Amino acid sequence: MTLGVVIPYFQRTPGLLARAVRSALDQTGLETLLIVVVDDGSPHPAKLELGTFSEAERRNIVLIEQSNAGVSAARNRALDAMPDRINAIAFLDPDDAWHPGHLENANIALDSGADFYFADFTRPGVKQTRFERSNIQFDQHVSIDIGTNLYKYNKKFRRDLIQETIVGTSTVVLPRRSLGSARFRTDLTASEDLLTWFCTTTERSQVIFSSRCEAEYGEGVGLIAKSVWGTKRSLRVALDQSIMLKIVSEDAEIDDELRSWIALSRRDCRMNFVRTMLHRLRRLQPVDFDATRRFVKFDPEISVDLFRALVGRSE
């Protein structure tokens, strides 16, 4: 497998990118490995991190520098820079690291016909893995290679992708044919990865996953990780999640059960947005008026919710 690694880079903490790149360079079982790092106007420049590698190692690394445009634009820039010889794409965020054997397992999966590959992962400070929190039952899936912990996903993958958010971006590996011309939406700063995985799969896609933890997530710059309820960032996250859900709801393949779940989830996004706005206004804290304008334009129903909430606040 000739594989390209996409790393969008924007960090303030030294050492994170070097750790991520090292975890990629140390992977085995590949014919060719090309790492494309896009420095998205990072406060701590990527070239300082990459300069720590040997000359031989740097031959496998391409650095692209651009003004800050967001993680989606950085990933898209890396994808567009991949040479034709690359036939599979892996994604790795700069504060995350792969465990040994990740790409070797992905190679086995893609050679077995996988249209999409992912694996379990851990987050700092969280005792359970992502799969444990999602309560994935491995006996409900089809083991394809005893000893490598690989399974064919035997349930509705796209439903679980959206409802359970089972996929961590830093574990995803795709054959290039699956990705095609699809790219990450640059108008979203949250849920853009879920939407991309949804759009690059169908109900007929063969999805293979590993039950092993193959990535360790970090604590670098990240919108979702720092968007706890009540923060200004959480307003943008609620908007982006609602946009993602609306796009998914328009897909002809989804069933009525998922469509109903999406309708309720979008309602939750609206209410979370409104409650956060009130919370911040009461405390004279800044709010994201651009996100508010976009939400009203995208989903006019929120205007009624906002009005009712503001009237109730004034009484």
Polymer length in residues for the chain: 315
pTM of whole model > 0.85? yes
Residues forming CATH 3.90.550.10 domain(s) in the chain: 2-216
pLDDT digits (tens, 9 = 90+) for 70-109: 999 999 999 999 999 999 999 999 999 999 999 999 999 9
Q: Are 117 and 173 in contact (CB under 8 A)?
A: yes
| pLDDT confidence of residue 213 | 97
Half-sphere exposure of 38 (CA within 13 A, CB side): 26
pLDDT for residue 315 is more than 80? no
| pLDDT confidence of residue 39 | 98
* 309: its two tokens: 């909430």
- CATH 3.40.50.12780 for domain 2-216, yes or no, is no
**Mean pLDDT value of segment 1-8:** 95
pLDDT digits (tens, 9 = 90+) for 251-281: 999 999 999 999 999 999 999 999 999 999 8
Closest CA to 62 of 144, 146, 5, 137: 5
Cα angle, residue 229 at apex, residues 223 and 234 outer, rounded to 5°:
40
Structure confidence at residue 29 as a pLDDT band (50, 70, 90): confident
pLDDT for residue 224 is more than 60? no
CA dist., res. 299 & res. 281, Å (int): 21
**Mean pLDDT value of segment 232-244:** 93
pLDDT digits (tens, 9 = 90+) for 118-153: 999 999 989 999 999 999 999 999 999 777 899 999
